Structure 1
């Protein structure tokens, strides 16, 4: 009987290993891959994912199919937690938004930790821009700062949630200029845009890729008055940097793909290579003019090292945020 039991255990183990190997060999062909996005449809993260993923499907070949699932809220935390908790089979992956992804756990206890997630590839590095309605009373960034110095809290600034790149950009700008804006949190850039156009929001803190209709002209119902980067961008050559305006603040949003920590190395390498090839596809570049100026591929391991360095630089802001919440 003991020998028979050992044989049964051995057969079950062998079958389990074979099934696991078969599933890995089949990836990504045997079922759709769910891609979790932490912001509402129409924002920069959502648009980037939906435009790029068809080209990644082509790069992976076979029957690869991605399905985007929006889970907005809590500055991306809901989506990041979904990535961390997913089965390690790479059929549920997600987009992470930096610095929110690595900053939020520094400010409070979150539903995920970065130790539960493995970065696959960075796709873009997208600087923040200060956007106003075309008929705004503010023609430049010094005008905004002057208004806030005259009357603290008199100018409303929109961002996409506590700890997101836009929120940090506002905090950094406020610290550099020694002012206190009136911050308003949104569930995504599309909502910020709606309130800007409706006259309900003074300033939108968004990213360069999220206003592609302004590239080259900066004309329309919205207008960019400053960019928070090291240098001016060719797509908005007449827009000064915040540093040129007297406020040395530089912030970017980085977006890329991630998987649960235990996804096998071979699948991660395959997905990373597919993302890199999709970004190089000339059709993607021509179909996504908003993303072209900010495409900045990095392999997952290199991106993780960059985030480790970034987290140290952000620590003072995290401590300040925690202190303010305790008041």
Structure 2
């Protein structure tokens, strides 16, 4: 026993020194210690992708330190592939992503899915982008009425591209079919960039996309003509484009694009991410860049964002009962 006590006394200074040396490393460890993935559930080049790549820079900036946020595209199934991957990722703060309405709300109504919007920790909404119908500049249709008249006389002849079944683009087109008594042909794509390419290549008659996306492509030199926007009133982004309501069809549809993470983030990490998203949204440089690609910003903090998703989900459930939009 005496020999053991003597040995312990000799070892104690070394043990204490090791403990003191290790303590600062533990104390200084801070989130984030590695790059953060930002999942985008749509193909590169669309409105969400462009917004995400811009937002990623500013979220990283406001996390501070050596933080970096890397965009990862997971397109397909109207967003379901990316949303599911985001929901199932470890809730450690190293995977975040964009969720889009109505897709994140409607997909679980249409079919069995591995996610629901309540499976995410909401970090804040950034964009609220109204829907839009665009045609090629060479198209004979100068107004929504002319398009509807042609579709009415030629059922199925008008084809329209969307970002997938159950997307805002798809549902709004179905609403127009119902309101106008017409039948068009749906062509789903993996993202707005593909819809745009389909229209420019004259593979489809109409591109159903968000007004911000349409204006961005037009600015880039694409020969597009906007037939109408699905806002309650003409937006500041496109004051020259009449609303659907002005043209006799009371259709209002828009896409929220917000940042979320898998449910169950550590509270301190969640607080850091919520603050970084809020500061990014308020950053004048981010706002200027967003205006440059026609992204209509509308920041919502997590509680207000959750309330809006809950209300929208109830509305889409009623719509689903009255007008199921799944492909037959």
For normalisation by structure 1, the TM-score amounts to 0.87
Alignment check: 8 A CA contact 1:218 1:236 kept: no
2:132 paired residue number: 129
Alignment check: 8 A CA contact 1:27 1:267 kept: yes
1:207 paired residue number: 210
Indicate which of 89, 99, 103 corresponds to 1:96: 99
1:251 paired residue number: 253
2:116 paired residue number: 113
Q: What is the rounded CA distance, in whole Å, between the counterparts of 1:279 and 1:118 in structure 2?
A: 18
Q: What is the rounded CA distance, in whole Å, between the counterparts of 2:173 and 2:302 in structure 1?
A: 28
Indicate which of 173, 176, 192 corresponds to 2:176: 173
Q: Structure 2 matches for 1:200-279, cutoff 5 A?
A: 200-213=203-216, 221-279=223-281
Alignment partner of 2:85: what SS? helix
Alignment partner of 2:250: what SS? coil
Q: What is the rounded CA distance, in whole Å, between the counterparts of 1:193 and 1:205 in structure 2?
A: 9
Q: What is the rounded CA distance, in whole Å, between the counterparts of 2:220 and 2:226 in structure 1?
A: 7
Structure 2 unaligned regions, length at least 5: 1-25
How far the C-alpha of 1:164 sits from its partner, in A, is 1.1
Alignment check: 8 A CA contact 2:171 2:325 kept: no
How far the C-alpha of 1:284 sits from its partner, in A, is 1.6
- Does 2:78 align with 1:70? no
Alignment partner of 1:258: what SS? strand
| Distance change (3 Å), C-alpha of 1:25 and 1:264 | farther
1:190 paired residue number: 193
Alignment check: 8 A CA contact 2:156 2:184 kept: yes
2:41 paired residue number: 38
2:20 paired residue number: none
Alignment check: 8 A CA contact 1:218 1:224 kept: no
Deviation sequence 1:68-110 (CA, Å, 0-9, x none): 1000001100111111111110101111011110111012111
Deviation sequence 1:249-278 (CA, Å, 0-9, x none): 000011011111111232222212111211
Q: What is the rounded CA distance, in whole Å, between the counterparts of 2:289 and 2:73 in structure 1?
A: 22
Pairs aligned (count): 306
- Does 2:164 align with 1:142? no
Radius of gyration: which is bigger? 2
Q: What is the rounded CA distance, in whole Å, between the counterparts of 2:269 and 2:325 in structure 1?
A: 42
| Distance change (3 Å), C-alpha of 1:290 and 1:179 | farther
Alignment check: 8 A CA contact 1:72 1:79 kept: yes
Alignment check: 8 A CA contact 2:212 2:237 kept: no
Alignment check: 8 A CA contact 1:75 1:163 kept: yes
